[in-house]
Amino acid sequence: MKKLILMLAACAGPAITGPTYAGGSNYGIVPGALPQVQGKVTEWPVPTPKFARDPAPGPDGNIYIAVMSGNRIARFDTRTKTFKEWDLPDGARPHGLLVDAEGIVWYTGNGNGTIGRLDPKSGAVTSHRAPSGGDPHTLVMDDKGIIWFTVQNGQRIGRLDRATGKVTEYRTSGNPYGLAIDKSGAVWFCRLGADSLGRLDPATGEITHLDTGSGSRPRRIATAPDGMLWVANYGNGKLVKVDPQARRIVKEVAMPAGRGGGPYAVTVDGAGRVWANEINTDTVALFEPKTEAFRVFALPTENSGIRKAIVDAQGRFWYMGSHSGRLGVIE
């Protein structure tokens, strides 16, 4: 396996052009929509099943995975159904990742307080250290190519300018977890420990809060094609719709498994359908906002442990079982 070079230097990167709203994960692709979801589920074991997590689509059509405890990034070739892995600097412990429009992989170094950049073509790694150190968690990219990330226990929202390598942090509280960019460019994040959402104005740095209810424990948040936000409330088993312009909750829907299901990952496809898993029941639910109806897909492997999921350009739903060590797709 090719060893990677660690370079503690800034790395220039062109801004992404065009819309990048990918299920609220704001990757370098636009999510597609299957004309009809058949419900076929296929899984593949990853080569290093050491808490592999948080899949991300690349512009090449492949799926990239953060192998947290294995200290690697993996790529699944969707055509050949084979994997390739890259080692990361010691102690990085990648938590989340995204792939930009140029095919560069950006990841959160949860173990060493960095945002890392992997060039899959050369294998070179560049690390940008967060000023507070801390534990970078989840990251997204806005339409200007700026990377935003949460620092969960460090209680920060971070901003990385890819062109200069400058990292700026904003103090917050409530254990920030998942995040998404709305269509105005505002950064929304889940305050898992404070039963609320946060909204950061990128122009001023001002952070305001939106209460989601006692015991709600919001985990992940996604931007829909119509501009609405969808939130997975882990604590009360609800899927919540937020109007980011009005800054208020406009709908709450009980997930199929109820309060104990543990909604975790949430993403939205190109047709506006909302996908969310219930981690305690090994199921994925597909919600159609127009009819307010759910379809539920049972996963073939028990104790899968989905913590994040995405929709690719074709509209397929990809997930990574961090407990089972299996990458899966529903189509």
Report the alpha-carbon distance of residue 121 to residue 29 in Å, rounded.
19
Mapped onto helix, strand or coil, the DSSP state of residue 111 is coil
Which amino acid is it at 8? L
Q: Is residue 9 part of a domain?
A: no
Q: Is residue 194 part of a domain?
A: yes
Q: Is 90 exposed, middle or buried (0-12, 13-18, 19+ CB in 10 A)?
A: exposed
What is the CATH number for 264?
A: 2.130.10.10
**Structural domain boundaries, residue 272:** 20-330
* pTM recorded for the entire structure: 0.92
122: which DSSP letter?
T
- In the numeric block, which tokens belong to residue 10? 């800034």
Domain count, the chain: 1
pLDDT at 256: 98
pLDDT at 26: 62
Report the alpha-carbon distance of residue 22 to residue 225 in Å, rounded.
9
pLDDT along the chain (331 residues), means of 10: 32 37 59 95 98 95 97 98 98 96 95 97 97 94 93 97 96 97 95 98 98 98 94 98 98 97 96 97 98 98 97 96 98 98
Q: Is residue 13 part of a domain?
A: no
Q: Is residue 10 part of a domain?
A: no
Q: Is residue 8 part of a domain?
A: no
Report the alpha-carbon distance of residue 280 to residue 277 in Å, rounded.
9
pLDDT at 19: 41
Q: Is residue 73 part of a domain?
A: yes
Report the alpha-carbon distance of residue 53 to residue 326 in Å, rounded.
10
